[in-house]
Chain A
């Protein structure tokens, strides 16, 4: 556990202090400004925003950031897996008495934290931009939910947790795929292809609940609108992706000759 904590602390520090994270914050900020412009020009018909209020701003933008968030997760996963091989820094860790399982678990936890960090960034930047342009007045409107104040903030963060969970599963899928892809940019490209193609699953009602991209788009919304049974099924689907990808990825990694 101590070694997993050490590796996690190291990754966490890197995550928080890296220029990549700053770039992501800036990109989210710009995209939210663009969304405000959309709302000013076209109103709620031409924008993801239905309510001009800082309370609604972050939760209503979570879904719209699928390409951004998915791409950033794909890049991060490639950084902590593929790049460690190409730069041979994996040697520094595995030449110590650190088992491959401990190493892999630390990567899984890092991806989980990164997913939560990205969600937190989106929510924080969302509140910031919402406050700047619309102020705190009004209500949180999200699907059938209309609320305000701390309850609204709680709902936003709960939605964020569900959102992070789905994107964590995507991160696990990318970690499995990164075992087979030679470069970081290949991982990023494959991630984007999955996000673009996965959205076409929406046209097939019978399979879409089982498609990860559908859960990435809607799980954080469905937890408030759909039945408990439906949400349980969705959670199981996401968990199944997490488990299948992590076991398969670990199996490949465990048996891999590391010529680093």
Chain B
């Protein structure tokens, strides 16, 4: 068990219905400061829908998301001011350079982001040499890294990443893992949606598993491994899914 810390993210009874389909069904979980939480589920489980609701791109049918106590429904600006995110694939203005896209993003934050911070985040993701290159010439991995740089730009306390390992090579994966763990040690909270269970196990200290919009398991990685008496998250995941399908 981790020592009790400040609650950064609280999801309570979050539900999304479209026509008669329930995409997310009364989701409940919370994250504490410094947590790196893996958000797992099969394709179509409702992960991206949940993340979209957290970032106010789509509206919950019911329930709420509180970020540092600010409701995403009623106090969106205060809630989002502390969040950096990549939802699905990162998108940028293709005719602008990496640096220009970051400058635009920085201008829209509530705090002043100096040019040095933009260079700093580009260095963190190894894109400082490509800062003046137009985004349309970027590979998928480079766009992904630029997306991560954009998420880090305004010193957020919560970072939401949807499939961040997409397009990253093994070196990029290792760098991402080191960066996430380093930032978590500084108190930044991560919510990472991914299919790469081995990476989730390496990076994350806790997981939330959903299936067809419903939460089926949650907890700290070490606790779950002990509970299921297995040595890796894949087995935990399959055990949960097997239990669920049964």
Contacts and interface: CB of A to CB of B under 8 A. Distances in A.
B58 A92 contact: no
Interface stretch (A2-10, A61-69, A192-200, A207-215): A2-10
Interface residues on B, range: 20 to 34
B109 A97 contact: yes
Contacts of B230: none
Interface stretch (A31-39, A83-91, A128-136, A230-238): A83-91
Interface in B81-97: 81, 83, 85, 87-89, 91-94
Contacts of B77: 97-99
Contact of A94 (B56, B59, B109): B56
A10 to B, nearest CB: 6
Interface residues on A, range: 20 to 34
B118 to A, nearest CB: 14
A95 B104 contact: no
Contact of B58 (A2, A7, A96, A258): A258
Contact of B108 (A88, A89, A98, A260): A98
A45 interface: no
A255 B91 CA distance: 22
Contacts of B87: 91, 95
A259 B58 contact: yes
Contact of A260 (B57, B78, B94, B104): B57
Interface string A93-118: 11111110000000000000000000
A92 B57 contact: no
A152 B204 CA distance: 72
B1 to A, nearest CB: 33
Interface string A45-64: 00000000000000000000
B105 A92 contact: yes
Given A89-B91, A92-B91, A255 B59 contact: yes
Interface of A: 2-3, 6-7, 10, 87-89, 91-99, 255, 257-260
Give the 6 A-B residue pairs with the shortest CB-CB distance, closest first.
Answer: A257-B58, A96-B108, A88-B91, A97-B81, A6-B107, A97-B80
Interface of B: 52, 55-59, 76-81, 83, 85, 87-89, 91-94, 101, 104-105, 107-110, 150, 154
Given A6-B108, A95-B55, A95-B85, 20 more contacts: A2-B107, A6-B104, A88-B88, A88-B91, A89-B92, A91-B57, A91-B87, A92-B91, A92-B101, A92-B104, A94-B56, A96-B105, A97-B77, A97-B80, A97-B108, A97-B109, A97-B110, A98-B77, A258-B52, A258-B57
